[in-house]
Structure 1
Amino acid sequence: MTAGKKALLAGMFCVSLFNAGERALAQGKMSFVVKPAQIKASVQPTMWGVFFEDINLGADGGLYAELVKNRSFEFDTPMMGWKEEKKEGQDGSYLILNTGNRSKANRRYIRLDSRSEKGYGLTNEGFRGMGIKKDNGYDFSVWARQADNTRSRIKVSLVTPEGAEIGTATVSPEGSEWKKYTASFKASATEPKARLQVSLDGKGTVDLDMISLFPQDTWKRRPGGLRADMVQLLADMKPGFLRFPGGCIVEGRTLDERFQWKKTIGNVEDRDLIINRWNVEFKHRLTPDYFQTFGLGFYEYFQLCEDIGASPLPILNCGMACQFNTAEVVPVDQLDPYVQDALDLIEFANGPVSSVWGKKRAEMGHPAPFNLKMLGVGNENWGEQYIERLKIFTKAIKSKYPDIRIVNSSGTDPDGARFDYLNKELRAMNADIIDEHYYRAPQWFLENASRYDNYDRKGPKIFAGEYAAQSVRIASPDNKNNWECALAEAAFMTGLERNADVVTMASYAPLFAHAEGWQWSPDLIWVDNLRSYGTANYQVQRLFSVNKGNSVVPLLLNNKPVAGQEKVYASAVLDSKTNELILKVVNAAGKEQSGDFMIEGKNAKKGTVTELSSSKLDAVNSFDQPQTISPVSRPAHLTGGKLTINMKPYSVNLIRLAL
């Protein structure tokens, strides 16, 4: 055969293959090639994590299991959450007393004066009611003292909206000195809208403060701890990191309202309460009873990280209040206390018990270090004033703790003048990690699945710190956690994973929302006083996180990364611990599509396909139907080392193959 004939036949063969490929695509059949031997990048343990901010009653009224609202009468309106309870034949009055000591965190207390043998008291409404479970134990506590040498007992009762008593206990304060008194009891019924009655039994005068009620079934059954079902949803995700405490909470509407970590540790009764910045942020969702008690403080955040196996990522104020609100900044020559807070936090987390802040950690019950490796400076701050302050923080932190990696803000948006300026400045600073945020329409996420394909491999790493597809528009109260948004996020996440040499961390935001106390939607997990469920978005996040793998390998269609061809998006990783190949394949098309997956150079023996799907893009999970969109698994069928799967319309397909 002549060289010319060979060339002609080769050309005809290539054309034939090309045409066959085109026909296969036209018929909805695609041929994917996976190359397990070509390691492209390492997947960091921090790849998929969670972001927590006290928004939507996320902490008080949510994750922090305290059932009493305004337990120490420190809200701007001291009796908010409380009301006088006078039953037939009862007579009495109350008085709010303020010590006037502005340096003291807990300045107010209440004096109850009963002038009747039948008693007198108050009722607390809780956070949109109190969720009480039948046969569960409840721990009551109060700081109290007798006034005027009286001896009055305090009766504590849980009551239904109709007034039926479903749990009760008594405590008997003694003497004129403040002491803490406790009592425990079981509930006789389940009630999502219970109230707490605190009353004097007979005549007398008693001073009360820090009136508290916790369920006993907290996470790890810690007294005064966290709501177990909410923590369990986080633990089930096996997150690589937990970012806390926010978010805009870090900045505050003003610098006076910023989050100050040192005021959130130590004895709970000594922690400063402040207004929550989401209290009045949205006119359509005003929440005047939203405050931060800091019962969930930095010690508890670190402890939670340890509990769920997540690396801690605290974010600190950089000397700037929220630029959407007041845009206050501390003068640069007065920035030292803010910088010192950052240095002291590292010592609190990692320092020996012989150090000042390491000793405080040990005194709270954790002598061992928390193994802090990274720290954020600023939240969504931008502009020259941010860079100026960031440089001061960076120099101080790196001088004392060179191994601590610093997370840096790229502003509020993934593009535009703010982003361009910060991106340029941070790269010139050789920043460790750049935090990018994206709250955009689902279509944006589909179109940006290849966003990081051409990022500088030698530049700063990327933290996809806050993202969520918005079904209507940013900050709309009509946004839904529907399948269209979750599907688009999954497609985008394949692009994050494919570029794991650049993107080392990612987290959806916000995390929690109370059904009757939210300010922002969409949110990953919804709760009421007794129930919680993961949204469709949660199911996507969990699927990616628990199937993280540790090495990225090529997954190609027509020799190109799969980032939207035929509305399909995909990534592939190896799990060296289990010797498995993990494929994540998103079919964003409204039709079923079939794919052949050729595993190059490896013999895939068996596997599973786990699917998330819905034929309705507006489908959502709910309290009554929490599993509407949830994973369904089936065996994967391989023939001659080739896997063929039919992908449902609008589906996320997780494939694990044993090699």
Structure 2
Amino acid sequence: MQKWYTTVLALGLAGQVFAQNPLVVKVNQPKAEIQPTMWGLFFEDINMGADGGLYAELIKNRSFEFESPMMGWKEQKNPKASVLVLNRQDQPENPRFIRVKTEGGKYGLTNEGFRGMGVKQGVGYDFSVLSRNVEGNLTLKLELIKPDGQVLGTASLPLNSTDWKKHSVRFTSNGTEPKAKLNVWFEGTGTADLDMISLFPQDTWKNRPGGLRADLVQLLADMKPGFLRFPGGCIVEGMDLSNRYQWKKTVGPLEGREVAINRWNKEFKHRLTPDYFQTFGLGFFEYFQLAEDIGAEPLPILNCGMACQYNTAEVVPVEELDPYVQDALDLIEFANGSTDTKWGKLRADMGHPAPFNLKLLGVGNEQWGPQYIDRYVVFEKAIKSKYPEVRLISSAGPNPDGEVFGFLNGKLRSLKADIIDEHYYRKPEWFLENATRYDDYDRNGPKIFAGEYASQSKDVASPENRNTWLCALSEAAFMTGLERNADVVHMASYAPLFAHADGWQWTPDLIWMNNLQSYGTPNYYVQKLYSTNKGTKVLPILSNNQLITGKDQLYASATWDEPTKEVILKLVNASSQPQTHTVNLEGVKKLENKGKRFTLKSSEPGAVNSFDQPKQVSPTEEELAVKGTKLNLTLAPQSFTVVRVKVVK
């Protein structure tokens, strides 16, 4: 960090002689169209992003299907009571349940939640359980408690059915606590079977029962993303093929969704997470629904018959790919098919008769080598034969250069692939030096999806990586190059999206959360400024008739926004000194005399946001005076500036 900061300082001082060069925006020479999908979101269930995060369920291991059936539960023992874990053969996707037998006295089970349960004063909580009485009659007494045992809320729920039945009750918390637990006490004498023990807050996104954490979805909605990629990521591939993500196991009734170990459970020795499983309460239907809610195109990624090549590298023989290909075809039917089709009917039965209008589909995540190409062509032929309108995302591997990238890039271009997914996790220097990456790409070749990128303050996958302002600033500079080349780059997304402060595996991440709070990093605000100030066409912005790509540590892009008739400028001053520029807007007769200016900056390259200071690095908005068709801008040191000015006809 210090070495790089010194380099920036030196470059900034050297650049002072050029600080007064005028910038020219050719408003009358619009270039490439900017796709509505240009800036989007990458979601993966890593860092407790789903269970314990976006998915608002508070009970860990609600169906006793974790590797250790009672993980997350603690027995409050009584010599006259016992609990057994039983296995039913007729329900293979969710075989386990518990049988509690008590002859009186105080007996119960305590669930610890996901690093505790975040509960809020005055908020209602919905408890539910699938149960049946075997003999006698039992009543559940529920207690939401603080770590010291102080009771936050109570409810009683009689179990009164001899057949499996869902019982539910609602109660309100009288306090706020990030590390609460739930006691389930059994009162009476008898034996009962229980499964799917669940607790949800009522204040979910759109107040949907069993829904998503509202604060987290709001952070996404505020970005106005063009697409939502799901469910990952390496999680698509799995550690081996048996652990791969299978979308059909994530739809339909919750009790029919098969729990799986999360592939990040034991990936990193420095962050072993043995209690990290996937319940798939956040499944493919919920992903499609979320994308619709926030106005984003859905982009599902499917396994192509290859497990993670960093793990087992297991592959399905090409001649045995039919079930994998059929999964892809069935997914398109699930998303787009009429209610007369098998999978379209399931979508309707889940509450969404209208199609989701799927237009994009990823084949594999981050695969490489000839084995990927062999499998990609099988998928492409089958999908394009039935659904030629669906555009396919293909993999360029895990790195932005080298032999693996070169092979895939060449092969996919020769196959005339629709969109190639490029990934780059690199240090800030790389992002600053590669703002011209796409300037010389073939304009008639496949389009590019910058599917995973994040500036690394330390090293790739290092637990010491932090979401520093320097990292965010370098991404802002790089993104001017993505925007300038919108005729080639059709999509881009930072990754990963979420991280739980007590349950992360990978850093850096766009949004951090604990059980009650969440905040956007400096990187989040860079992404948001781009996505909410997108524009519809690229405009040339020049200095000395040259593109502005890092000389004197200045980076720039410009766009035209047709609906609002505004010119939008994005300017990054990566130097340690202020820069003053006159901006001439050529090709317009008049501008409104007031514009808007958004500035994101910090005097400390290592500055980060936190739960205590969630907006330490966040944009400021101010009115900008406009004279004629010129702007006078002073760019603060190490700053990202967005300007909007309206053209008057």
TM-score range normalised by the length of the shorter chain: over 0.9
What is the CA deviation profile of residues 204-261 of structure 1, one whole-angstrom value per residue up to 9, with x for unaligned ones? 2211110000000000000000000000000000000000000000000000000000
Paired residue for 2:68?
Answer: 77
Paired residue for 1:566?
Answer: 552
Deviation at 1:634? 1.6
Paired residue for 1:55?
Answer: 46
1:326 aligns with 2:326: no
1:135 aligns with 2:122: yes
1:119 aligns with 2:106: yes
Paired residue for 1:4?
Answer: none
Deviation at 1:39? 1.1
Deviation at 1:165? 1.1
Deviation at 1:434? 0.2
What is the CA deviation profile of residues 283-304 of structure 1, one whole-angstrom value per residue up to 9, with x for unaligned ones? 0000000000000000000000
| Counterpart-to-counterpart distance in 2, 1:590 and 1:646 | 13
The secondary structure found in structure 1 opposite 2:159 is coil
Paired residue for 2:644?
Answer: 656
| Counterpart-to-counterpart distance in 1, 2:134 and 2:526 | 58
Paired residue for 2:613?
Answer: 625
Deviation at 1:24? 10
Deviation at 1:496? 0.1
8 Å contact 2:291–2:298 — kept in the other structure?
yes
Deviation at 1:604? 2.2
1:465 aligns with 2:454: no
**Equivalences for residues 152-551 of structure 1 within 5 A:** 152-551=138-537
Amino acid at match of 1:127: F
Deviation at 1:156? 1.2
Paired residue for 2:25?
Answer: 34
8 Å contact 2:18–2:552 — kept in the other structure?
no
Q: TM-score, normalising length from structure 2?
A: 0.96
Paired residue for 2:9?
Answer: none
Amino acid at match of 1:93: S
| Counterpart-to-counterpart distance in 2, 1:209 and 1:344 | 30
1:517/1:24 Cα in 2 relative to 1: closer, same or farther (>3 Å)? closer
Paired residue for 2:36?
Answer: 45
1:112/1:24 Cα in 2 relative to 1: closer, same or farther (>3 Å)? closer
| Counterpart-to-counterpart distance in 2, 1:27 and 1:129 | 55
Question: Superposition RMSD on alpha carbons, in Å?
Answer: 1.2
Deviation at 1:437? 0.2
| Counterpart-to-counterpart distance in 1, 2:279 and 2:628 | 62
| Counterpart-to-counterpart distance in 2, 1:639 and 1:311 | 39
Paired residue for 1:92?
Answer: 81
Amino acid at match of 2:120: K
The secondary structure found in structure 2 opposite 1:341 is helix
8 Å contact 1:597–1:643 — kept in the other structure?
yes
414-423 vs 632-641, which moves further = 632-641
| Counterpart-to-counterpart distance in 1, 2:202 and 2:255 | 20
8 Å contact 2:73–2:112 — kept in the other structure?
yes
8 Å contact 1:119–1:203 — kept in the other structure?
no
| Counterpart-to-counterpart distance in 2, 1:291 and 1:100 | 22
| Counterpart-to-counterpart distance in 2, 1:35 and 1:90 | 82
8 Å contact 2:16–2:577 — kept in the other structure?
no
What is the CA deviation profile of residues 41-80 of structure 1, one whole-angstrom value per residue up to 9, with x for unaligned ones? 0000000000000000000000000000000000010010
8 Å contact 2:427–2:459 — kept in the other structure?
yes
Give the unaligned 5+ runs of structure 1. 1-22
| Counterpart-to-counterpart distance in 2, 1:198 and 1:558 | 72
| Counterpart-to-counterpart distance in 1, 2:581 and 2:193 | 72
Percent identity over the alignment is: 63
Q: State the number of aligned residues.
A: 632
What is the CA deviation profile of residues 253-273 of structure 1, one whole-angstrom value per residue up to 9, with x for unaligned ones? 000000000000000010010
Q: TM-score, normalising length from structure 1?
A: 0.95
| Counterpart-to-counterpart distance in 1, 2:139 and 2:366 | 51
Larger radius of gyration: 1
Deviation at 1:175? 3.4
8 Å contact 1:581–1:656 — kept in the other structure?
yes
Give the unaligned 5+ runs of structure 2. 1-13
| Counterpart-to-counterpart distance in 2, 1:154 and 1:569 | 63
What is the CA deviation profile of residues 287-322 of structure 1, one whole-angstrom value per residue up to 9, with x for unaligned ones? 000000000000000000000000000000000000
The secondary structure found in structure 2 opposite 1:34 is strand
| Counterpart-to-counterpart distance in 1, 2:624 and 2:313 | 55
What is the CA deviation profile of residues 350-369 of structure 1, one whole-angstrom value per residue up to 9, with x for unaligned ones? 00001111111001010000
What is the CA deviation profile of residues 538-583 of structure 1, one whole-angstrom value per residue up to 9, with x for unaligned ones? 0000000000000001000111111001100000001111110000
| Counterpart-to-counterpart distance in 2, 1:378 and 1:316 | 6
Deviation at 1:82? 0.3
The secondary structure found in structure 2 opposite 1:249 is helix
The secondary structure found in structure 2 opposite 1:30 is coil
| Counterpart-to-counterpart distance in 2, 1:132 and 1:69 | 15
Deviation at 1:637? 2.2
**Equivalences for residues 97-116 of structure 1 within 5 A:** 97-101=86-90, 104-116=92-104
